[in-house]
């Protein structure tokens, strides 16, 4: 698209913990991996591969010059492990935006400064949970997409077309990675490309620019040969569709493509990995309607991508070719029962989960397959403790600098909000946290993902109480202002919280819960792995925000012995109403000689009047239009509560 036991580690991790790597360095394996008899053997253990694509947590930025944010990977590995899966597919260089480093002629001068460390960190964590990883080097995105300039695409084209440039990649990029982590026991395979046919001029390509398949095969052949020469691991590539396996990737064709390379005899794929989407290809090209043997290939086949949810008319996956319908449970069972060596659905980080699905839609299939065939799937690893009860998202921030980089915390997902009035979320600022920061709610809207901030509803921490829950309310119709065009609440693509420290670097802990559209809960962080990912912006380049970590914690643990004012308790704090309206007079009824700030807020979330009250006080409302309002009382920076009133 546009994208058996490795080592039993007697570690039980608390679900609220952030650590996920193994204790000490993971030793490199000493046994040869292989693909045979319809299975892959990794580190001496034959398994059926059952899992999902990640495929990235920050597109093209999981490797490069910034330390990886391991927390989302840990969450994903926990989710896969707990569901009974054993594998993920992760993209590395992707489209060369950050790594490897290319000069203007498309030659590789080196890797990102953190690339090898990041790969090792992710693999160590995967190993801890008994997960193996397909490391996908490049994608057709090299020559495609609006996220690159014309110069970047031109440079990538030179990278692919010029044989000497591949030499520079092998020497300055591939070999350093293989020497450092090439035999890591959590590696399922080194995968050369994701759907390279997409950038081909003679194999049905769709990218902005194209190169002949001869260039793609040269890359595939020579990289596979080096993997076989330098490591004990396997090599594969992500083929766009099953009919192209035999057409392009036979041993003879790859050895020919390797040319005079002394390693040409090692230019082959250990197993085939191909993709399938039912809106493009009918039953005759489907791995879920044809056995592995039916393709006539001489080695195992892994289903590398397919929808992460059923494509049977029961959900948002539409426009499938007749005769291709399949439930997600049946898809994984078919792969296992009909000779395939594994199945990896797309994906855990898909930007369009309504269509393609998500971990939650694939989870039942992983659980079902594991219940029936666990001896053929389980790779051991750490025991995962599943969170129970009411959870919240903890956001721990350490020395987040002001200005650039600014950090974001968010979730990409289609949210149809056109019939909703308010977007709300609960927030808690831990005692002792800094107050020098604003939290700006933002949504991205429309096909162009237009940045639409709720500037007038930014949360200024200096004005909010620490040690208690409060609710942030944003009117959907006019609270989010797009940078261009009009706001379409039916096409919200993502919800984001942007952190903006001021004056000095910010350190503190914030808790988030119950993101809602009116009474509809969008995110409550109760499911394992449901915390969001943090990124930051450096010269408009997304990079992991090492200053921010997110995790799930039990709501009952927030604040220690401090009384927690929960969303459900806010309306019951006072034994009587805080305020009433009689005619055109507002009466404050719940104060006993205490000075308070009083706000009168309309249903669009706008403050229409401010008052100062001491004790039981009355105010005239002659200038206030008739309607429903919310009266909110705050004393000494702490919200006492609110009452709904009607002005007639």
Could you give the 3-state DSSP secondary structure of residue 124?
helix
The rounded percent of the chain whose pLDDT value lies above 90 is 69
Give backbone dihedrals phi and psi of 503, rounded to 5 degrees, phi first: 80, -55
Predicted pLDDT at 575: 37
Contact 327, 278 (CB under 8 A): no
CA pair distance 240, 224, nearest whole angstrom: 18
- The first and second tokens of residue 186, run together, are 């959590």
The rounded percent of the chain whose pLDDT value lies above 70 is 88
Predicted pLDDT at 374: 96
Predicted pLDDT at 610: 77
pLDDT higher than 90, residue 628 = no
CA pair distance 76, 522, nearest whole angstrom: 20
Instruction: Give the C-alpha distances (Å, rounded to integers) separating 181 from 21, 95, 120, 150, 185.
Output: 15, 21, 6, 34, 9
pLDDT higher than 80, residue 615 = no
Residue-range domains of the chain with CATH? 12-18+40-384 (3.20.20.80), 391-557 (2.60.120.260), 573-647 (2.60.40.3080)
Which of 331-340, 397-406, 475-484 is the most confident on average?
Answer: 331-340
Confidence label for 385 from pLDDT (cuts 50, 70 and 90): confident
What's the full length of the chain, in residues?
A: 648
pTM for this prediction: 0.80
Average of pLDDT values for 558-576? Answer: 42
Give the least confident one: 58-72, 230-244, 290-304: 58-72
Confidence label for 608 from pLDDT (cuts 50, 70 and 90): confident
CA pair distance 373, 496, nearest whole angstrom: 40
Average of pLDDT values for 601-620? Answer: 71
Q: What is the mean pLDDT of the chain?
A: 88
Looking at per-residue pLDDT, the higher value among 257 and 602 belongs to 257
Number of Cβ within 10 Å of residue 351's Cβ equals 16
Q: What is the pLDDT of residues 428-471, one digit of tens each?
A: 999 999 999 999 999 999 988 899 999 999 999 999 999 999 99
CA pair distance 305, 193, nearest whole angstrom: 13
CA pair distance 542, 60, nearest whole angstrom: 9
| Lookup result for tokens 């001491």 | 614
Region at 560 (left for phi over 0; alpha for psi -120 to 50; beta for the rest) = left
Looking at per-residue pLDDT, the higher value among 484 and 539 belongs to 484
pLDDT higher than 70, residue 103 = yes
Predicted pLDDT at 624: 83
CA pair distance 65, 405, nearest whole angstrom: 14
Looking at per-residue pLDDT, the higher value among 415 and 151 belongs to 151
Predicted pLDDT at 585: 82
Confidence label for 625 from pLDDT (cuts 50, 70 and 90): confident
Query: Nearest-CA neighbor of 235 among 165, 134, 139?
Result: 134
CA 594 to chain centre: 48
> 619 - beta bridge partners?
586
Predicted pLDDT at 372: 98
pLDDT higher than 80, residue 249 = yes
Confidence label for 10 from pLDDT (cuts 50, 70 and 90): very low
Predicted pLDDT at 11: 27
Looking at per-residue pLDDT, the higher value among 594 and 276 belongs to 276
Predicted pLDDT at 614: 62
232 Cβ contact partners less than 8 Å away, ≥ 6 residues apart: 29, 30, 31, 32, 33, 183
Confidence label for 20 from pLDDT (cuts 50, 70 and 90): very low
250 Cβ contact partners less than 8 Å away, ≥ 6 residues apart: none
> Diameter of the chain by CA atoms?
93
Average of pLDDT values for 3-24? Answer: 32
Confidence label for 593 from pLDDT (cuts 50, 70 and 90): low
CA pair distance 96, 145, nearest whole angstrom: 12
Cis peptide before 405 (omega within 30 of 0): yes
Alpha helices by DSSP H, listed for 26-145, are 70-83, 115-128
Predicted pLDDT at 595: 64
Average of pLDDT values for 275-297? Answer: 97
Confidence label for 536 from pLDDT (cuts 50, 70 and 90): confident
Number of Cβ within 10 Å of residue 507's Cβ equals 17
Which of 287-301, 408-422, 579-593 is the most confident on average?
Answer: 287-301
Cis peptide before 240 (omega within 30 of 0): no
Predicted pLDDT at 9: 28
Helix (H), strand (E), coil (C) string for 612-636: EEECCCEEECCCCCCEEEEEEEEEC
Number of Cβ within 10 Å of residue 156's Cβ equals 25
Average of pLDDT values for 68-78? Answer: 92
CA pair distance 594, 153, nearest whole angstrom: 66
Average of pLDDT values for 556-578? Answer: 48
CA angle 630, 454, 360 (to 5 degrees): 95
Confidence label for 543 from pLDDT (cuts 50, 70 and 90): low
CA pair distance 605, 454, nearest whole angstrom: 12
Predicted pLDDT at 266: 98
Instruction: Give the C-alpha distances (Å, rounded to integers) separating 632 from 197, 515, 597, 626, 637.
Output: 60, 20, 8, 18, 12
Give the least confident one: 262-276, 484-498, 557-571: 557-571
> 94 - beta bridge partners?
138
Instruction: Give CA torsion, residues 350, 88, 253, 204, to 10 deg.
Output: -10
Confidence label for 169 from pLDDT (cuts 50, 70 and 90): very high
pLDDT higher than 60, residue 3 = no
Predicted pLDDT at 395: 95
Cα radius of gyration rounded to whole Å, the chain: 27
599 exposure class (CB count in 10 Å sphere: 0-12, 13-18, 19+) = middle
Confidence label for 563 from pLDDT (cuts 50, 70 and 90): very low
Average of pLDDT values for 560-588? Answer: 53
CA 33 to chain centre: 30
Give backbone dihedrals phi and psi of 36, rounded to 5 degrees, phi first: -165, 160
Contact 492, 414 (CB under 8 A): yes
CA pair distance 242, 223, nearest whole angstrom: 22
153 Cβ contact partners less than 8 Å away, ≥ 6 residues apart: 142, 143, 144, 208, 209
| Strands annotated E in 155-208 | 187-194
Confidence label for 6 from pLDDT (cuts 50, 70 and 90): very low
- The first and second tokens of residue 532, run together, are 């969001």
Q: What is the pLDDT of residues 473-526, one digit of tens each?
A: 999 999 999 999 999 999 998 999 999 999 999 999 999 999 999 999 999 999
Confidence label for 241 from pLDDT (cuts 50, 70 and 90): very high
CA pair distance 535, 104, nearest whole angstrom: 28
pLDDT higher than 80, residue 570 = no
Could you give the 3-state DSSP secondary structure of residue 521?
strand
Region at 75 (left for phi over 0; alpha for psi -120 to 50; beta for the rest) = alpha
CA angle 613, 617, 621 (to 5 degrees): 95
Predicted pLDDT at 611: 74
Confidence label for 639 from pLDDT (cuts 50, 70 and 90): low
Predicted pLDDT at 598: 82
Contact 170, 220 (CB under 8 A): no
């Amino acid at each position: 698209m546009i994208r058996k036991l490795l080592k039993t580690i007697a570690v039980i991790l608390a679900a609220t913990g952030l650590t996920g790597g193994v204790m000490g360095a993971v030793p490199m394996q000493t046994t040869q991996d292989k693909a045979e008899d319809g299975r892959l053997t990794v580190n001496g253990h034959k398994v059926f591969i059952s899992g999902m694509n990640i495929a990235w947590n920050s597109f093209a930025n999981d490797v490069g010059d910034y330390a990886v944010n391991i927390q989302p990977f840990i969450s994903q590995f926990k989710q896969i492990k707990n569901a009974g899966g054993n594998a993920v597919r992760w993209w590395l260089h992707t489209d060369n935006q950050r790594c490897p480093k290319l000069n203007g002629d498309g030659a590789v001068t080196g890797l990102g400064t953190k690339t090898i460390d990041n790969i090792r960190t992710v693999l160590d964590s995967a190993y801890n949970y008994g997960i193996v990883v397909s490391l996908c080097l490049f994608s057709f995105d090299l020559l495609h997409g609006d996220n690159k300039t014309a110069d970047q695409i031109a440079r990538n084209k030179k990278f692919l077309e010029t044989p000497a440039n591949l030499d520079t990649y092998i020497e300055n990029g591939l070999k350093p990675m293989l020497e450092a982590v090439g035999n890591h026991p959590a590696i399922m395979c080194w995968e050369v490309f994701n759907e390279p046919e997409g950038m081909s001029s003679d194999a049905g390509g769709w990218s902005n620019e194209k190169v002949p398949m001869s260039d793609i095969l040269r890359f595939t052949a020579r990289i596979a040969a080096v993997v076989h020469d330098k490591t004990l691991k396997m090599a594969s590539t992500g083929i766009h569709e099953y009919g192209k396996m035999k057409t392009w990737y036979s041993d003879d064709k790859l050895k020919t493509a390797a040319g005079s390379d002394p390693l040409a005899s090692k230019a082959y794929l250990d197993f085939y990995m191909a993709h399938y989407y039912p809106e493009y290809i009918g039953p005759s090209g489907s791995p879920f309607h044809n056995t592995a043997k039916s393709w006539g290939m001489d080695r195992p086949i892994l289903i590398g991508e397919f929808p992460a949810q059923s494509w049977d008319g029961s959900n948002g996956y539409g426009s499938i070719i007749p005769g291709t319908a399949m439930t997600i449970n049946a898809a994984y069972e078919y792969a296992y029962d009909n000779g395939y060596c594994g199945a990896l659905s797309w994906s855990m980080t898909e930007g369009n989960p309504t269509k393609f699905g998500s971990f939650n839609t694939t989870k039942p299939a992983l659980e079902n397959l594991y219940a029936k065939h666990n001896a053929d799937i389980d790779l051991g690893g750490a025991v995962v403790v599943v969170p129970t009860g009411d959870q919240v998202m903890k956001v721990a921030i350490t020395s987040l600098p002001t200005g650039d980089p600014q950090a974001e915390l968010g979730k990409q997902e289609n949210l149809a909000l056109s019939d909703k009035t308010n977007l709300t979320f609960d927030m808690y600022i831990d005692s002792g946290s800094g107050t020098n920061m604003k939290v700006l709610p933002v949504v991205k809207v429309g096909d162009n993902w237009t940045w639409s901030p709720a500037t007038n509803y930014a949360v200024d921490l200096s004005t909010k109480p620490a040690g208690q829950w409060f609710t942030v309310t944003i009117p959907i119709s006019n609270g989010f202002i797009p940078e261009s065009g009009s706001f379409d609440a039916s096409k919200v693509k993502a919800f984001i919280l942007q952190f903006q420290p001021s004056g000095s670097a910010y350190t503190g802990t914030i808790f988030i819960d119950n993101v809602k559209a009116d009474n509809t809960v969008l995110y409550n962080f109760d499911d394992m792995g449901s915390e969001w990912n943090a990124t930051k912006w450096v010269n408009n380049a997304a990079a992991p925000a090492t200053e921010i970590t997110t995790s799930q914690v039990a709501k009952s643990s927030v604040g220690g012995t401090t009384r927690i004012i929960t969303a459900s308790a806010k309306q019951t704090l006072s034994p009587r109403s805080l305020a009433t309206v009689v005619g055109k007079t507002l009466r404050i009824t719940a104060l006993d000689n205490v000075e308070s700030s009083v706000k009168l807020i309309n249903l669009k979330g706008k403050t229409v009047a401010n008052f100062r009250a001491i004790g039981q006080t009355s105010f005239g409302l002659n200038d206030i239009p008739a309607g429903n309002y919310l009266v909110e009382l705050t004393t000494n920076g702490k919200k006492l509560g609110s009452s709904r009133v009607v002005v007639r």
